[in-house]
Amino acid sequence: MTDPQTLAARFPGDFTFGVATAAYQIEGSTKADGRKPSIWDAFSNMPGRVHNGDNGDIACDHYNRWEADLDLIAEMGVSAYRFSLAWPRIIPEGTGRINEQGLDFYDKLIDGLKARGIKAFATLYHWDLPLALMGDGGWAARSTAYAFQRYAKVVMARLGDRLDSVATFNEPWCSVWLSHLYGEHAPGERNMEAALAAMHHTNLAHGLAVEAIRHVTPNVPVGLVLNAHSVIAGSDSAEDSAAAERAFDFHNGAFFGPVFKGEYPASLMSALGDRMPKVEDGDLAVINQKLDWWGLNYYTPMRVLADTAEGAEFPATQPAPFVETAVTDIGWEIYAPAMKLLVEDLYRRYDLPECYVTENGACDNTDLGADGTIDDTMRLDYYVEHLGVVADLARDGYPMKGYFAWSLMDNFEWAKGYQMRFGLVHVDYQTQVRTIKQSGKWYRDLAAEFPKGNHAPA
């Protein structure tokens, strides 16, 4: 194991170390103070959708324990906290009435961060769409993009004066493909036309929100968080190499293309363009606005083979076997070199601004030992390997500006419920007691090597 001081010496002096969470995964209090249901409230309460029937009604009870949790973040020694805002707390129906109590909560949270000298990195959308908007079709409806634009204006008008950075969306791949094509996340749709509609309207909403943010708070750096896939062909054959390129266009290009090039990938449009929603004049110009930064969420590589079955849907790929035998407790291959290959590839393909690793971490379900400690060695080794990659990228001249560990604490892990633990801090869901794990103590020592709060996106 690399000691934190040795690793810290490999990073630029202005590098930001932070921790990350998301509203639905930690807040709880889903019916408190005017909040109305999100699509995840509905989805997680449908039988068979979430492991063990778990839901976010209580989660980590952060809504009531936020002050103690901010003290915990301060104790971790990091200079920044990445969190998301719950749209259904702020505009409960998605449109219409603004809920001042919802904004009051985030007012307190941000003021609490400022009081502790911690940078506030906010994400406007981390998957909890107000359920009422599903009556119009949710993300499959163009109107949702304009509802999101208004939501962005409301948030920034009230909170933007104290934010150090804002992201429009977290992982649109998940809220588009995983949620509308594969059916694994809310709203649980399995339909290519719905997924393509959600893709375009999410991209449009991003662009409209960028306009809104810059109009209301022109000095707040704005970005987009993407869980880019490191797509690796399962063999050296021409067929598998072509399949990997198609997979890149589908999983990455569908979002990077319009945002950073002003166009959808040609292969996607050739295969699926007749199933796309109407792309109106000016849409791509709205989407393709220069960003101040972008966020990379990375966990595991995607290995693919060509799917030669007749009628295989674009991108016509199937999973290839893992190369490494090491996996996390959620079953994801551990292969840190893929993270470096991915960043290098993305900067070759696109004109990208500075980068923050906005999520990275490992599911390690090691529980409390008899002595009350959690020796999550696998997670700690994962952090060492991947942070080493980030340091290498910075050394090689890539504009790597910060790293946010996923996650601050164990939480509601979407369709996996509470069975999977990603936290640097252990949460006993019965008592809500927080215990810093071995990995958390190591990360705390790493962060301590850097001056607190000395960098935000320019």
Query: Known catalytic residue: 245?
Result: no
What's the N-to-C CA distance of the chain in angstroms? 34
> What's the Cα-to-Cα distance from 422 to each of 19, 254, 396, rounded to whole Å?
12, 28, 29
Query: Known catalytic residue: 344?
Result: no
Q: For residue 5, report the phi and psi dihedrals to the nearest 5 degrees.
A: -65, -40
> What's the Cα-to-Cα distance from 374 to each of 245, 285, 367, 438, 446, rounded to whole Å?
41, 50, 6, 6, 18
Pairing of strands 80-84, 16-20: parallel
Tokens of 330: 């959620």
Whole-angstrom distance, CA of residue 321 vs CA of residue 319: 7
Q: Give the angle 422-426-429 at the CA atoms, nearest 5°.
A: 100
Only one residue has tokens 């948030």, namely: 155
Cα torsion angle, 116, 118, 119, 123, sign: negative
Of all helices (H) and strands (E), which one includes residue 302? strand 302-306
Check 171, 189, 333, 413 and give the catalytic one: 171
- How deeply is 31 buried, as exposed, middle or buried, from its count of CB atoms within 10 A (0-12, 13-18, 19+)? exposed
Tokens of 139: 């993300």
* Number of C-beta neighbours around residue 391 at 10 A: 19
> What's the Cα-to-Cα distance from 334 to each of 105, 325, 331, 408, 416, rounded to whole Å?
38, 8, 9, 20, 19
DSSP helix, strand, coil percent of the chain (3-state; round to 5):
45, 15, 40
Check 27, 189, 359, 413 and give the catalytic one: 359
Whole-angstrom distance, CA of residue 187 vs CA of residue 128: 10
Only one residue has tokens 């949790």, namely: 69
- Give catalytic residues, as residue numbers: 171, 359
